Chains A and B, each alone.
Chain A
């Protein structure tokens, strides 16, 4: 059962930097560097962190029909996505469950660029090939690595390599030369900070990474801090906070559903499970994803049961841990909808004991996206 693990083009660099490597989604990935998870997290929020996210899937959809075709799989407006823009999307199944979450960029000239989660990429690519056949080409970019440069100094740092990078605003993308290599650069990320995701040809990935790490503001950051950063930012981790057992409505991701794809919109429905989503929008849902803070210092982790004041089981934690910038434990999970209002006092069971938690707004730290 133990398939050999894949390595990203940055594997040797991770080892040289002293990373602790762990298996993740079929890859050997750096969970932390000698700096440690806590300091890596704080450094990213203070300056800039460089992440290897090359395990994620990069795909191009090519052809005149690409946007209309992809729209048939996601509850998101792709047809009117302007060239140079990126949008968050969700693949849904016929029950409205979430198959994966993804980022879609319009590269212009009938080319869409899609980034999907590592653990789902084979299934996502098969899904697209099955449903988009005859409408556009589905090309997996196996020859590209993906880096993320995140934090308040990210723009200053990247502008040293390509001044145009500083002119992008949140969720814009451009094809830029960085250190002489042809990169796809988008101003987005998974930390709640300003920053970029950079797709670079695999053979040049280590060199670009070394070039960025040579900048005084930049430290290498592992998956451990990536998880605490995204948790504080209130961002979902697929397979934990959302999966096929949760719909976009239950997952509190209504904001990701474009207005013109919702009931009454000009291109309403037309994606798998649209009937379920429409029914849930009209009738409500039984459970909802919420954020919570802990009224104690004890971290409340994934899997913990959530109860009301009488000990009645009303939900479960899907992500949780210590938020280094929040300076306390935070988490998210699903609760019965009547308990989902911000400020509701609940309990999570930790080592058999009830720990007081309070439903709270996310993100837990202010987002600092650059909107121009």
Chain B
């Protein structure tokens, strides 16, 4: 059973069966950003604390950053994005994932929105 949480800055975090957490941006965010042309991902093994910037993205229109809402260490990155940032536009919550972390403090996930709360946020 995987469970997905959302941030106010439109990232999603999915708790996987193996205890890792996959991170990406939402459909709403990719639509707002427009076509992505550049994604700079962290390296495997890098550690971040809650609120730290872990990745940078650029669309045809603007630059944005991905801040990790939980402590964690990078265990995998989506290397395809370096050559194909458009995957994020095509499937932001699928093939366009950014990276996977080993969370340092799972309880931090509880502070994030569930899908209903997130839907309410973007419907406002």
A residues with CB within 8 A of B: 32, 36-39, 224, 228, 297-299, 301, 321-322, 324, 329, 351
Contacts and interface: CB of A to CB of B under 8 A. Distances in A.
A298 B65 CA distance: 13
Contacts of B56: 351
A37 B35 contact: yes
13 contacts: A36-B34, A36-B89, A37-B34, A37-B60, A37-B61, A297-B38, A298-B58, A299-B38, A322-B37, A322-B38, A322-B58, A324-B37, A324-B60
B93 to A, nearest CB: 18
Nearest to B60: A37
Contact of B63 (A32, A224, A228, A301): A301
B29 to A, nearest CB: 15
Contacts of B34: 32, 36-38, 224
B60 A38 contact: yes
A329 B34 CA distance: 16
A301 B56 CA distance: 15
A351 B63 CA distance: 10
Given A228-B60, A301-B63, A321-B60, A36 B35 contact: yes
Given A37-B61, A38-B34, 11 more contacts: A37-B60, A38-B86, A39-B35, A224-B34, A224-B61, A228-B60, A299-B38, A322-B38, A322-B60, A324-B60, A351-B63
A299 B37 contact: yes
B81 to A, nearest CB: 11
Contacts of B121: none
Nearest to B58: A299
Name which of B37, B63, B82, B86 has the most chain A CB atoms within 10 A of its CB: B37
Contacts of A351: 56, 63
A298 B40 contact: yes
A322 B86 CA distance: 13
A221 to B, nearest CB: 13
A224 B38 contact: no
Nearest to A327: B37
Interface string B6-41: 000000000000000000000000000011011010
Contacts of B86: 38
Contacts, number: 40
Interface string B49-64: 0000000101011010
A301 B35 CA distance: 16
B82 to A, nearest CB: 7
Contacts of A38: 34-35, 37, 60, 86
B30 to A, nearest CB: 10
B58 A224 contact: no
Contacts of A321: 60
B75 to A, nearest CB: 24
A321 B36 CA distance: 12
A356 to B, nearest CB: 15
B82 A297 contact: yes
Contacts of B40: 298
A292 to B, nearest CB: 16
Contacts of B37: 38, 297, 299, 322, 324, 329
A36 B34 CA distance: 7
A176 B98 CA distance: 53
B112 to A, nearest CB: 26
A329 B82 CA distance: 14
Nearest to A20: B34
Please name the 7 residue pairs, one residue from A and one from B, whose CB atoms are nearest each other, closest first: A322-B37, A38-B35, A37-B60, A299-B58, A297-B38, A36-B35, A298-B38
B76 to A, nearest CB: 21
Interface in B79-104: 82, 86, 89
A297 B86 CA distance: 14
A321 B34 CA distance: 14
Contacts of A322: 37-38, 58, 60
Nearest to A323: B37
A54 B58 CA distance: 30
A301 B60 CA distance: 11
A298 B41 CA distance: 12
Contacts of B58: 298-299, 322
Contacts of A37: 34-35, 60-61
Nearest to B37: A322
A321 B35 CA distance: 12
Contacts of B60: 37-38, 224, 228, 321-322, 324
B106 to A, nearest CB: 31
B25 to A, nearest CB: 16
